[in-house]
Amino acid sequence: MNATPPDTGEAAHFRALEALYDSAPINRLFESRLSISAPGESLIRFEVREDAFHAAGAAHGTLYFKMLDDASFYAANSLVSDRFLLTTAFNLHFTKPMKVGPAEAHGRWISGRRRVFVAEARIVDASGEECARGTGTFLRSHIALAGLPGYRS
């Protein structure tokens, strides 16, 4: 019988960050799933629902910001295994209204490895068209990841 060994090292950190994402109370409001497969990269698959629409019948900017911020944040925090990062600035560009259906936010670390990190993300809809993109700046905090209840390594 071949047993699958438990995730260790980098993979354990990635799984712990995914658990941290799942544990955040805000994520009870959004049907979404984070996956981290490589350092400096993240993917959030999410569902755009009508309850996130503004009065003109498309996704409100809240949904764009949340998914772009989270995707870029987790791409950056995948490179830091001891501390929680904090968003200090975020620049967002809307390129297409999102309607009901599946979408993905792809996060990618750009620069910084000590105290300040820069990462970007883009949202694509089910047809593969870009709906938004953003760039964030993230600061290493004094909050230990290991001390957060949702971070399970």
What CA–CA distance (Å, rounded) separates 67 from 117?
18
Stretch 71-85: mean pLDDT? 98
Please tell me the predicted confidence (pLDDT) of residue 7.
Answer: 65
Amino acid occupying residue 109:
W
Stretch 31-51: mean pLDDT? 97
Domains and CATH numbers, the chain: 9-147 (3.10.129.10)
- What is 4-22 written as a DSSP string? PPPP-HHHHHHHHHHHHHH
Please tell me the predicted confidence (pLDDT) of residue 4.
Answer: 42
pLDDT band for position 6 (50/70/90)? low
